[in-house]
């Protein structure tokens, strides 16, 4: 997989994500143009901020249709942080329910922890057979979030992490769709390896 499209819907981490995928060997285009995105080999949905605002931004550029068409065609898709969260059925923030894309079963809710946001480096527990975490052991990844899915789809490889006593979904791999709650583009050598794994195995 050489050509990667980053869906531009106003997310704040576009350029750092684009740089990370380029460093891993991909030719990256950052755009909201559906025709251009559909010409790429892989699609990346980045994200920072709130679930509802991200869904509104994605909807405004026609991204919901792009993501669903991409998934239906079984083409490589990767979501990051809120771009991971919006792949679930719904998100609940500040008492507001917002429908997600619905590629994964489950909902995103607030973490039950005293210290929020969960911000900084943390280890994860990846399942056997994970392609994303191939060659990665006890490395730490960089998280910034107060909300998460607590369970992943039953038909997927689900990686978990813990913040205080709250266990949550740190990554999902299901067919051609993968996503991470953490930011691989901010996770140093471990994140670079994970991105390279995605490019090589998708």
Q: What is the dihedral of CA 5, 7, 12, 17, to 10 degrees?
A: -20
| Pairing of β 177-180 and β 42-45 | unpaired
Q: What is the DSSP string of 28-87?
A: EEEE--HHHHTTSSEEEE---S-HHHHHHHHHHTTHHHHHHHHHHTT--EEEETHHHHTT
183 is a catalytic site residue? yes
d(CA 24, CA 179): 17
Q: What is the pLDDT of residues 5-58, one digit of tens each?
A: 999 998 877 889 999 999 999 999 999 999 999 999 999 999 888 999 999 999
Active-site residue flag, 145? no
Could you tell me how far CA 83 lies from the centroid of its own chain? 5
Q: Which of 84, 107, 118, 185 is catalytic?
A: 185
Please state, rounded to an integer, the average pLDDT across all residues of the chain. 95
Residue 202 has pLDDT above 80, yes or no: no
116-134 confidence digits (pLDDT tens): 999 999 999 999 999 999 9
Q: Is the pLDDT of residue 65 over 90?
A: yes
Whether 176 is a known active-site residue: answer no
Which candidate in 15, 81, 145, 164 is catalytic? 81
| H or E element, residue 188 | helix 188-201
């Amino acid at each position: 997989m050489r050509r990667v499209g980053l869906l531009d819907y106003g997310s704040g981490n576009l350029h750092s994500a684009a740089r990370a995928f380029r460093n891993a060997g991909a030719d990256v285009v950052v755009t909201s143009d559906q025709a251009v995105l559909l010409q790429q080999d892989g699609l990346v949905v980045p994200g920072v901020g709130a679930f509802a605002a991200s869904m509104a931004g994605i909807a405004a550029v026609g991204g919901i249709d792009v993501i669903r068409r991409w998934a239906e065609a079984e083409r490589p898709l990767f979501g990051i942080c809120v771009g991971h969260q919006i792949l679930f059925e719904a998100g609940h923030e500040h008492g507001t329910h917002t429908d997600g894309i619905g590629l994964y079963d489950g909902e995103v809710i607030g973490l039950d922890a005293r210290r929020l946001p969960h911000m900084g480096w943390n280890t994860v527990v990846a399942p056997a057979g994970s392609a994303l975490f191939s060659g990665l052991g006890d490395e730490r990844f960089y998280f910034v979030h107060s909300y998460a899915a607590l369970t992943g789809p039953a038909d997927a490889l689900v990686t978990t992490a813990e913040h205080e006593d709250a266990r949550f979904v740190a990554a999902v791999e299901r067919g051609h769709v993968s996503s991470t709650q953490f930011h691989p583009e901010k996770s140093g050598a471990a994140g670079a390896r994970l991105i390279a794994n995605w490019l090589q195995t998708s």
